[in-house]
Amino acid sequence: MLVIGEKINVRTKLYADAFKERNFEPIKDMAIQQVKAGANMLDINIGPARKTGPELMLWLVENIQSVVDVPLCLDTTNAEAIEAGLKVHKGKALINSTSADPERLALLMPLAAKYNAMIIGLTLATGGLPRDANERCALAAEVMASAMEHGVPLEDIYLDPIMVPINGQQEQVKEILEAIKLFRELNDPPMKSVIGLSNVSNGAPEEMRGLINSTFLTMAITVGLEGAIVDPLDSMIMQSVKTTSVILNQSLYCHSYLETS
Amino acid sequence: MLVIGEKINVRTKLYADAFKERNFEPIKDMAIQQVKAGANMLDINIGPARKTGPELMLWLVENIQSVVDVPLCLDTTNAEAIEAGLKVHKGKALINSTSADPERLALLMPLAAKYNAMIIGLTLATGGLPRDANERCALAAEVMASAMEHGVPLEDIYLDPIMVPINGQQEQVKEILEAIKLFRELNDPPMKSVIGLSNVSNGAPEEMRGLINSTFLTMAITVGLEGAIVDPLDSMIMQSVKTTSVILNQSLYCHSYLETS
């Protein structure tokens, strides 16, 4: 299971400022904290970063990988910034992300192939959000076709069914679970999936978010989810990851299984 | 989803004494408390009750149904006590339980047919615990065959895959999830299942039991579980029942969905 720490994100002012000022201290602290809590990959979200993206991503990848020994998930719409990060990344990076749009696929799949990176394929095209599990599967097929065309192994693709808030789009949440299941069952090899978890509880009362997030995560893992972008500092999240792993007999039960990472 | 309150149980001294002394007060309190917390059925476990079973069960059913408006799950190995309870039970009772043993089936299926009751079919025969999901399915087929023979509709059967503790029988826990899924997928009509939840965390440290119970429950509901004998006073249990129901779009999301029952 890929547990991708979401905290280093331009939408948090602390990191937006740190990115701008090339101040590594807060970034370093958060990288170490997340890995300590159980993240085995870190998302580095620099936003669109239109101007200084490449330089910033290079600086982040080099510095973060000098303090934690995990691969990174390079999160920006700026393909040049992705490539700058891939050039210096140690181990197998995860590109976050391409949509199913032909132009984006043509831009990003070659990068995954060239740098032997994994890549997140959003089941999203220019026509807006997919309406059900079937539309998600159709868009996934386009991502997979492009991967094969560009020589990216299907094992390196993580399909993202696009998480939506249960407050407002309740009927879609069930379709997302169904899509995760179908990605595995309908394809050979069974296709992996990843979600940006927190969005499911967007707009829910603050005290309910942990419960909704961890319950959805437990359900998604049960139907085959293989990766999630999460807050690893939320203990309910890591409890869910570890307990499902024990119940699915993927890690050994012992009384102190929660304390191991 | 059948949420069957487990608290009125001869293994708790308070109720063992109350049963013996026909002291209804503590039983009444616990019946009301469980229904208030969200149980929509109550398990009444009187143990083997070899001597006074029929008289005791009759007394319990009449009195409990005079204070709470839910059906009861008549839990004893004494078939005469089951019948005594069924005679006075209002609404559709649940017999807990028959095994897949031919003698028990021949004894209990006719009671389910005669009193139009539902019945739990344990996937258990004289040979000991089933070893995997396939053995559970084979035993389930025997329960279903007996039901058809005795004129019990398959919709009235709840198959019980026999919960075991994750501490000691970890690999079986995954097989139980698989069995719940197969009961539905392999049969027409899709067969319902029920579990005695708490056993999954037997022997685990006290502070871990709520997490293991509620995580397993969430996973089991995800693969199709339709009933569980649980402690409805454990808030994690009811949180799991309600949140999965909202995520599966079976009840409407609103900010206060946890407070509704």
| Cβ–Cβ below 8 Å for A247 and B211 | no
Burial class (CB in 10 A: 0-12, 13-18, 19+), A241: buried
Contact A10, A44 (CB under 8 A): no
Contact A218 B223 (CB under 8 A): no
User: How many angstroms separate the CA atoms of A161 and B135, rounded?
Assistant: 36
Contact B243 A211 (CB under 8 A): yes
Is some CB atom of chain A closer than 8 A to the CB atom of B240?
yes
Position A256 scores a pLDDT of: 95
* Residue A254 distance to chain B (closest CA, Å): 7
Q: What is the CB neighbour count within 10 angstroms for residue B59?
A: 18
- DSSP SS3 for A203: coil
The answer to whether A137 faces chain B, any CB pair under 8 Å, is no
Q: Do A246 and B208 touch (CB under 8 A)?
A: no
**In a structure prediction context, what are the per-residue pLDDT tens digits for chain B, which is 261 residues long?**
999 999 999 999 999 999 999 999 999 999 999 999 999 999 999 999 988 999 999 999 999 999 999 999 999 999 999 999 999 999 999 999 999 999 999 999 999 999 999 999 999 998 789 999 999 999 999 999 999 999 999 999 999 999 999 999 999 999 999 999 999 999 999 999 999 999 999 999 999 999 999 999 999 999 999 999 999 999 999 999 999 999 999 999 999 999 976
Q: Rounded CA gap, A132 and A72, in Å?
A: 30
Among B177, B215, B249, select the one facing A174 at the smallest CB separation.
B249
pLDDT 10s digits, A110-138: 999 999 999 999 999 987 899 999 999 99
Q: What is the pLDDT of residue B261?
A: 62
Q: Which of B225, B236, B253 to mutate to test the interface with A (most CBs of A within 10 A)?
A: B253
CB of A208 within 8 Å of any CB in chain B? yes
- Using the Cβ of A236 and the Cβ atoms of chain B, whether some distance falls under 8 Å is answered with no
Q: How many C-beta neighbours within 10 Å does residue B89 have?
A: 22
Q: Nearest-CA neighbor of B164 among B121, B188, B200?
A: B200
Of B208, B216, B253, the CB nearest to A247: B216
Residue ranges per domain, chain A?
2-259
Distance between A238 CA and the closest CA of chain B, angstroms:
12
Looking at domain B2-259, which of 3.90.1170.10, 3.30.1490.190, 3.20.20.20, 3.40.50.300 is its CATH number?
A: 3.20.20.20
Q: Where are the alpha helices (DSSP H) in chain A?
A: 13-21, 24-37, 53-67, 79-88, 102-115, 133-150, 170-185, 206-222, 235-247
Please say whether the beta carbons of A144 and A120 come within 8 A: no
Instruction: Say how many C-beta atoms besides its own lie within 10 A of residue A258's C-beta.
Output: 17
Predicted confidence at residue A165, as pLDDT, reads 97
- Interval A132-176: pLDDT, tens: 999 999 999 999 999 999 999 999 999 999 999 999 999 999 999
Chain A, 140 to 169: residues with Cβ < 8 Å from chain B are 166-167
Nearest chain A CA: its distance from B37 CA (Å) = 18
Burial zone of A34 (CB within 10 Å; 0-12 exposed, 13-18 middle, 19+ buried): buried
Do A185 and A201 touch, CB atoms closer than 8 A? no
Q: Report the chain A residue with the minimal C-alpha distance to residue B257.
A: A208
- Name the closest residue on chain A to residue B202, using Cα atoms: A255
Mean pLDDT of A225-231: 98
0.90 cut: is pTM over it? yes
DSSP letter for each residue of B94-154: EEEEE-S-HHHHHHHHHHHHHHT-EEEEES-BTTBS--SHHHHHHHHHHHHHHHHHHT--G
Task: State residue A261's pLDDT score.
Answer: 62
Percent of chain A at pLDDT exceeding 70? 100
> What is residue B94's predicted lDDT score, i.e. its pLDDT?
98
| Interval A177-226: pLDDT, tens | 999 999 999 999 999 999 999 999 999 999 999 999 999 999 999 999 99
Whole-angstrom Cα distance, residue B91 to residue B72?
Answer: 9
Q: Do the Cβ atoms of B248 and A166 come within 8 Å?
A: no
Which residues of chain A does B242 touch, with a Cβ-Cβ cutoff of 8 Å? none
* ipTM at complex level: 0.95
